[in-house]
Each structure stands twice: as structure tokens, then as C-alpha cells.
């Protein structure tokens, strides 16, 4: 590794949910470094009590998400040179989630909403029980394509943090939970479609989305929760008009 | 990974903002609109006075703004209805730009007829 010739001014929001302060650090600037590299260097060399979260460091787990310069991002996949402004880097914990300490957030609320939106797969003895043969689902079916478009979510909460509606209305389920619900609505094996539609149309449900599309703009995987939410709204409108709910074909 | 723009400077967020702000401003204008319409029923002279005032170029420009707000709210609303009720398309930004261009064209058309 080449020795550092320059430094970066790093501003980090530290403290818990009740008392926060901006701490300024100087970290070495290198030709190739990610924001996570900088945070790790600061924790190892300057502030051993700095709390943050990471696991894989290669964009697989989604645990290292933070606000970088006011935008939610995976820090392990963000090169410092792309977000540095006048030699300065601003870091804060993810927006709209309770802060545990420094850059680490409490994700309980996020996953509670995921469950509230019926994000769990419900098997049924008739459709996908052990006694049944495997359900045949052709990749070319429209439902399978819709599910494909939503299925790669790893629940990093970047979309949740980017969404203004989540910030304004703490009851709103958020893009990730609704995206998950839409992928299951298009799963022919799942048996809880009606119950899930009720869950996503209850208080804080998909009708609160204002179509700002921040979720799809910031999703590091390139998914479009906005598309999934639009799908849920269409399914609900069909139900309200008495049109038979869309049932994904088995083959 | 390209750094995304700040959450509130993106085209579709601005389209959302324009739709909201135009709706609020139109709602604020409605009482004045109904007051002037009411004058037609009970005070024709006062109404004529206001109509003469409306011929002033400054008010024509203000009306251009009003027509733009109305057209922007209408086109923005149609865009959202299309986005939510028609099959998904990936050109959402293009639709927002088209709605804005159409609204501006409506307002310019009004201005051309006004003078």
C-alpha cells in the first residue's frame, strides 16, 4: 500500500439518540480507499470507542450502510474519491432509524415492519406442502418476472433511510417491506395473498407512498421498490373494483 | 458505484414537489376565484371592475403562472395515475419531463392568446 501523502477531514455524528455531536478527525487519504476503510482506520487509530457496523466488506451483507454526505450508501462499496467534497467527508447513522451509538442503528423497527407487511413466506399443504410435488414456475411467466425484479433485496435499509415518507410518517411500512410483500404476492407457492394485501393496505401501508422514487434512486442493488409499491396499489385497486385478484399461474 | 444525487435534487422528487406546491397554491387561489364568480351574481359592476383590472399586462403574467400551476398539477396527476395503474415502464423521468413540458406549453399557449 502506498504511504498516505494527504489527509481527509472526516466529520462523524457521534453519540446516542438523545445527545449527538459532530466529531472531526483527520484520516490519511489514499488512492484507492472506501468510506468503510476510513471509518475502520479512525476506529483503530484515533477513536477506539467509535461504534459502527460491518460484516462482509464486499457489498453482500448490507450492514455497513450509513449516511455519506447526506445520502444513504453502502460504505464498503463507496470510494472516498467519489463522495469527497473539498477534502471533507461527512458521516452519520442511517436516517429514520433509532441510533444505538455513533454510526450503529437499531434495525428492530425496520424488520418489525417487514413482518407487519407479511414479509414471511406462507406455505400451504395444497400448494407447496411436503406431500405435494414441486410447483412448476416458468421463468417466462409475468408473475415470475415481477418477483424477479424485486427478489434480490438484502434488507440493508438504504431505501428506508432515503424515503422521506418514512421520515414524515413513522407508521409507514417503507419501501423494503412493501417490496418484499410484492415479491411474495407474485409467488405462486405462497398461500397468504389476501392476508398480505390487507396488511399492506392497513394504516401505514402502500397508499402512503408519494412516488418520490428515492428508494429506487438509492438502492445499491438497483431494485425499484417504487415499481413494487405501484404493483401493490394496482392489486388493491383491482380488489376495490371487484376485479378478481391476480393469481400467479403455476406454470 | 456512481454517487447518487442528494435525495431532494432528483428529477422525480422535484416532480413530486411541483405537484404538491401547485396543489397548495391552487387551493389558496380557489377562495378568490369563487369570490369573483360570486360577484357575477350579486354585483355586476364590481365584477366588470375586476375584469378590467385583469386586462393589465402584469395580471396577464400572473394568470400565465396560474395556468401553468393548473396544467402542471393536472399533467402531474395524470402522470401519477398512469404510473400507478398502467403496466410499469422504466421511463418515469421521461414521463415527468413530458408532463412539465406539456404544462409549460399550455401556459405559453395561454400567454400567446392573452396578448
For chain A, say whether B88 makes contact (Cβ under 8 Å): yes
Which residues on chain A are in Cβ contact (under 8 Å) with B8? Answer: 164
A212 interfacial to chain B (CB closer than 8 Å) = yes
- Residue B82 touches chain A, beta carbons under 8 Å: no
CATH number (domain holding residue A214): 1.10.1060.10
The residue segments making up the domain with residue A27 are 6-105
Q: Is A134 part of a structural domain of the chain?
A: yes
Which of A78, A105, A132 is at the close of a domain? A105
Give the model's confidence band at B45: pLDDT under 50 very low, under 70 low, under 90 confident, else very high. confident
3 state SS of A90: strand
**For B92, which of A213, A218, A220 is closest by C-beta distance?**
A213
- Residue A68 covered by a domain: yes
Do A96 and A128 reside in the same domain of the chain?
no
Average pLDDT over residues B20-46: 91
Q: What angle do CA B23, B29, B35 make, to 5 degrees?
A: 145
Task: Look at the domain B10-114 and name its fold.
Answer: 3 helical TM bundles of succinate and fumarate reductases (1.20.1300)
Instruction: Scan residues 55-74 of A and list those with Cβ closer than 8 Å to B.
Output: 69-71, 73-74
A228 vs B4: which has the higher pLDDT: A228
Q: CB neighbours (10 Å) of residue B11?
A: 16
Residues A94 and A131 placed together within one structural domain of the fold: no
| Residue of chain A whose Cα is closest to the Cα of B87 | A231
A98 and A125 belong to one structural domain: no
Residues of A within 8 A of B84 (CB-CB) are: 211, 230, 233-234, 237
Pair type for strands A20-29 and A6-15: antiparallel
Considering the domain architecture, whether residues A217 and A202 belong to the same structural domain is answered as yes
Q: Are residues A74 and A51 in the same domain?
A: yes
- Dihedral, CA of residue A221, residue A226, residue A230 and residue A233, to nearest 10: 110
Give the pLDDT confidence score for residue A249 in this predicted structure. 44
Q: Report the share of chain B in percent with pLDDT over 90.
A: 52
Of A82, A162, A234, the CB nearest to B7: A162
Query: Which of B9, B88, B90 should one mutate to test binding to chain A, selecting the residue with the greatest count of A CBs within 10 A?
Result: B88
For A161, name the nearest residue in chain B, comparing CA atoms only: B7
Q: Let me know: does A246 contact A193? Beta carbons within 8 Å.
A: no
In whole angstroms, what is the distance from residue A229 CA to residue A116 CA? 15
Predicted pLDDT at A247 = 53
pLDDT digits (tens, 9 = 90+) for A22-70: 999 999 999 999 999 999 999 999 999 999 999 999 999 999 999 999 9
The pLDDT score that the predictor gives to residue A79 is 96
Residue boundaries of the structural domains of chain B: 10-114
pLDDT in tens, A8-25: 999 999 999 888 999 999
Question: Burial level of A235, CB count in 10 A (0-12/13-18/19+)?
Answer: buried
Q: Do B88 and A227 touch (CB under 8 A)?
A: yes
- A81 at interface of B, judged by CB pairs closer than 8 A: no
Write down the pLDDT at residue A186.
94
Tally the domains of chain A. Answer: 2
Give the model's pLDDT for residue B1: 45
Q: Who has greater pLDDT, B87 or A176?
A: A176
More confident residue, A160 or B7: A160
Q: Which set of grid coordinates corresponds to residue A250? A: 403455476
Hey, are the CB atoms on A77 and B2 less than 8 Å from each other? no
pLDDT band at B41 (very low <50, low <70, confident <90, very high): confident
ipTM of the assembly?
0.81
Same domain, A147 and A40: no
pTM of the model: 0.88
CB contact under 8 A, A217 and B12: yes
Answer yes or no: is A251 within a domain.
no
Please tell me which residue, A130 or B26, carries the higher pLDDT value.
Answer: B26
Same domain? A65 vs A180: no
| pLDDT of B74 strictly over 90 | yes
Q: Which residue, A171, A172, A169, A187, is CA-closest to A120?
A: A187
Q: Which residue is closest to B18 within chain A, CA to CA?
A: A212
In the predicted model, residues of chain A with pLDDT beneath 50 are 248-251
Residues of B in contact with A230 (CB under 8 A): 83-84, 88
Does A52 share its domain with A126? no
Q: What is the pLDDT of residue A136?
A: 86
Amino acid at each position: 500500500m502506498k504511504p498516505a501523502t494527504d489527509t481527509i477531514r472526516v466529520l462523524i455524528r457521534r453519540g446516542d439518540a438523545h445527545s449527538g455531536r459532530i466529531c472531526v478527525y483527520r484520516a490519511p487519504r489514499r488512492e484507492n480507499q472506501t468510506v468503510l476503510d476510513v471509518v475502520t482506520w479512525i476506529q483503530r487509530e484515533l477513536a477506539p470507542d467509535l461504534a459502527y457496523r460491518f460484516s462482509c466488506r464486499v457489498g453482500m451483507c448490507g450492514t455497513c450502510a450509513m449516511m455519506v454526505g447526506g445520502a444513504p450508501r453502502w460504505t464498503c462499496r463507496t470510494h472516498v474519491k467519489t463522495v469527497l467534497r473539498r477534502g471533507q467527508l461527512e458521516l452519520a447513522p442511517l436516517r429514520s432509524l433509532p441510533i444505538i451509538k455513533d454510526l450503529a442503528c437499531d434495525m428492530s423497527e425496520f424488520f418489525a415492519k417487514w413482518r407487519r407487511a407479511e414479509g414471511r413466506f406462507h406455505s400451504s399443504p395444497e400448494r407447496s406442502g411436503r406431500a405435494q410435488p414441486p410447483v412448476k414456475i416458468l421463468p417466462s411467466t409475468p408473475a415470475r418476472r415481477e418477483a424477479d425484479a424485486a427478489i434480490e433485496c438484502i434488507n440493508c435499509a438504504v431505501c428506508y433511510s432515503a424515503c422521506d415518507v418514512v421520515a414524515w410518517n413513522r407508521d409507514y411500512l417503507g419501501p423494503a417491506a412493501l417490496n418484499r410483500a410484492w415479491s411474495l404476492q407474485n409467488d405462486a407457492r405462497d398461500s397468504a395473498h389476501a392476508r398480505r394485501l390487507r396488511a399492506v393496505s392497513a394504516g401505514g401501508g402502500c397508499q402512503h407512498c408519494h412516488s418520490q422514487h428515492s428508494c429506487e434512486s438509492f438502492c445499491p442493488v438497483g431494485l425499484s421498490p417504487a415499481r413494487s409499491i405501484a404493483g401493490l396499489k394496482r392489486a388493491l385497486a383491482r380488489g376495490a373494483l371487484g376485479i378478481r385478484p391476480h393469481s400467479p399461474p403455476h406454470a | 458505484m456512481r454517487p447518487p444525487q442528494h435525495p431532494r435534487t432528483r428529477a422525480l422528487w422535484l416532480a413530486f414537489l411541483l405537484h404538491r406546491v401547485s396543489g397548495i397554491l391552487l387551493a389558496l387561489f380557489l377562495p378568490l376565484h369563487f369570490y369573483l364568480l360570486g360577484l357575477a351574481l350579486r354585483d355586476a359592476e364590481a365584477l366588470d371592475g375586476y375584469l378590467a383590472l385583469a386586462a393589465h399586462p402584469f395580471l396577464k403574467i400572473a394568470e400565465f403562472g396560474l395556468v401553468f400551476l393548473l396544467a402542471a398539477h393536472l399533467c402531474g396527476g395524470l402522470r401519477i395515475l398512469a404510473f400507478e395503474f398502467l403496466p410499469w415502464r422504466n421511463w418515469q423521468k421521461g414521463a415527468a419531463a413530458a408532463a412539465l413540458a406539456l404544462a409549460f406549453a399550455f401556459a405559453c399557449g395561454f400567454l400567446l392568446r392573452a396578448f
